[in-house]
Structure 1
Amino acid sequence: MQYPNVHLATFIDRPNRFIAHCQLVDTGEVVTTHVKNTGRTTILQPGVTTALVHNDNPNRKTQYDLVAAKKYDRQWINIDSQAPNKIVKTGLESNYVKLPGIQAVAEVNPETTYRDSRLDFAGSDNLARPFFVEVKGVTLINEGIAAFPDAPTTRGLKHVQTLEKAIDDGYLAYLLFVIQTKGIKKVTIDRDIFNELAVEIEKAQKKGVHVIAYDCQVEPGTLELDQPVPFDLSQLFVSDGLPSSIGK
């Protein structure tokens, strides 16, 4: 996917989950920008280079969206929490995303209610077998390892439990992690942050839920789904120790 009207800026601070202050590289102007990720987003530290998308809509409170940041000024990480679903939808429709046990996807429908949850995608394959896919974006990385989540997520836990129920009801079920950067060897669950999720995913895998992951090619103005990355629950994730960006 492409972002229009991208400007590089230096991150200054983030007063709350929704906005940040950044200084535009080309003009030096300090602007208030909407942060397209309400999580801790530890990559956003003072002095980090960011990518902002300019929007001329006069009804908006801010004219910019913060969509990516360059960790240690070396590696671009997309932090747009809405982007993974967009690129996965394209990947499913084109059969670029390979779902284990499925030869070809025939139909994809986003945002489908199942039982008491709303899952990201429902669809069917070329044999008319129904499936569900739940997508999770991953922005927490260190030393070539990516981890989810960056904060406890009861919603994410419920989604995994719903996928287990789908297996019981005869559906194929997939948990898909989109690593919003490149250069990752494995993806895992950060047990220090939310061990309960790791325990539930292990249970789900034994029940038949497939857990897969893809990395992305990332530039300031682009995000493209790229290659499969191994998911390994046994992989230890060691935090880089960066604090939450919120309130900085």
Structure 2
Amino acid sequence: MKFAHPLIPGILVQRYKRFLADVTLADGVTITASCPNTGSMLGLTTPGSRVWLSESDSPTRKYRHTWEMIEADLGQGPHLVGINSGRPNGLVTEAIQQGLIPELAGYGSLRREVKYGVNSRIDVLLSGGKGPHNCYVEVKNVHLMRNAGEAEFPDSKTDRGAKHLRELASMVEEGHRAVMVFLVQRSDAEQFSVAADIDPAYAAAFQTAAASGVEMLCYRCRLSPSEITVEKRLEIQI
């Protein structure tokens, strides 16, 4: 996925009210940007960090800038981390269409945000494959890393995430295929695990869903201020 325009660098002043961040730009002006992330962003909100913003020219937007990435260093050099949790659905869709996720290849139809389950929408619905059944694909953004090389999810308690796993399991019970895709928006990850200490209920739901036949996939992205690309499957530590 290429950005319409290269991202704008700045220095993080603070993140506050969950959805806002103050950033000082290269010209010394401090602006308020939207922060499209509902999680804690553990380890990714340190004042003084380098960040990158996208900019919209829409006259109806209250905040023109959106926080997209931050530079983080766990002792192995700085790496870009994508914090915009609205990006992964589009990135996974693009990767499927480009054949970059072979486990999800072979379907003739791809639809996004389709209603299913109990008052939910599946991120990606694949159909028209070799069999008569659909493939339900849920996507989660991953940016947490507490130990070098190990990406984790979630970074805060997520009842909604556990609900999604249960609904995927119900699709398997109905005879469909269900896949949970964890998309790691940082290139320094070499493996993935569930952060059971942060949310034991989600970890339990993960184990139950996997035992019920929900497939678990994790892919890592390559990031730059001009583009994000899905590049590599990671091992999931269970």
Q: What is the TM-score when the length of structure 2 is the normalising length?
A: 0.92
1:123 to 115, 122, 126: 126
Task: Measure how far apart 1:15 and its partner are.
Answer: 2.5
Structure 2: how far apart are the matches of 1:93 and 1:5? 24
Of residues 216-225 and 121-130 in structure 1, the stretch that sits farther from structure 2 once superposed is 121-130
Matched AA of 1:119: I
Matched AA of 1:179: V
Whether 2:41 is the aligned partner of 1:41: answer yes
Give the SS at the match of 2:108: strand
Q: Which has the higher contact order (CA 8 A, sep 6+)?
A: 1
User: Which residue in 2 is equivalent to 1:245?
Assistant: none
Whether 2:106 is the aligned partner of 1:104: answer yes
8 Å Cα contact 1:7/1:51 also seen in 2: yes
Of residues 118-127 and 45-54 in structure 1, the stretch that sits farther from structure 2 once superposed is 118-127
Q: How does 1:181-192 map to 2 (within 5 A)?
A: 181-192=186-197
Task: Measure how far apart 1:12 and its partner are.
Answer: 0.3
Q: Deviations over 1:85-114 (max 9, x none)?
A: 001111222332122xx6612211111111
Structure 1: how far apart are the matches of 2:172 and 2:190? 29
User: Which residue in 1 is equivalent to 2:65?
Assistant: 64
Deviating runs (4+, > 3 A) in structure 1? none
Q: How does 1:51-200 map to 2 (within 5 A)?
A: 51-72=52-73, 74-99=78-103, 104-116=106-118, 117-128=120-131, 129-142=133-146, 143-200=148-205
Structure 2: how far apart are the matches of 1:75 and 1:90? 23
Task: Measure how far apart 1:126 and its partner are.
Answer: 2.9
Q: What is the TM-score when the length of structure 1 is the normalising length?
A: 0.88
Structure 1: how far apart are the matches of 2:63 and 2:177? 42
Task: Measure how far apart 1:170 and its partner are.
Answer: 0.4
Question: C-alpha root-mean-square deviation of aligned residues, in Å?
Answer: 1.5
Task: Measure how far apart 1:203 and its partner are.
Answer: 1.5
8 Å Cα contact 1:92/1:108 also seen in 2: no
Rate the CA distance shift 1:62–1:17 in 2: closer, same or farther, 3 A: same
8 Å Cα contact 1:95/1:105 also seen in 2: no
Structure 2: how far apart are the matches of 1:53 and 1:94? 24
Task: Measure how far apart 1:220 and its partner are.
Answer: 2.2
Q: Which runs of 5+ in 1 are unaligned?
A: 234-248
8 Å Cα contact 1:51/1:221 also seen in 2: no
Q: Which runs of 5+ in 2 are unaligned?
A: none
Task: Measure how far apart 1:64 and its partner are.
Answer: 0.8
User: Which residue in 2 is equivalent to 1:211?
Assistant: 216
Task: Measure how far apart 1:5 and its partner are.
Answer: 4.6
Aligned residues: 230
Matched AA of 2:142: V
User: Which residue in 2 is equivalent to 1:244?
Assistant: none
User: Which residue in 2 is equivalent to 1:220?
Assistant: 225
Give the SS at the match of 1:191: coil
User: Which residue in 1 is equivalent to 2:12?
Assistant: 11
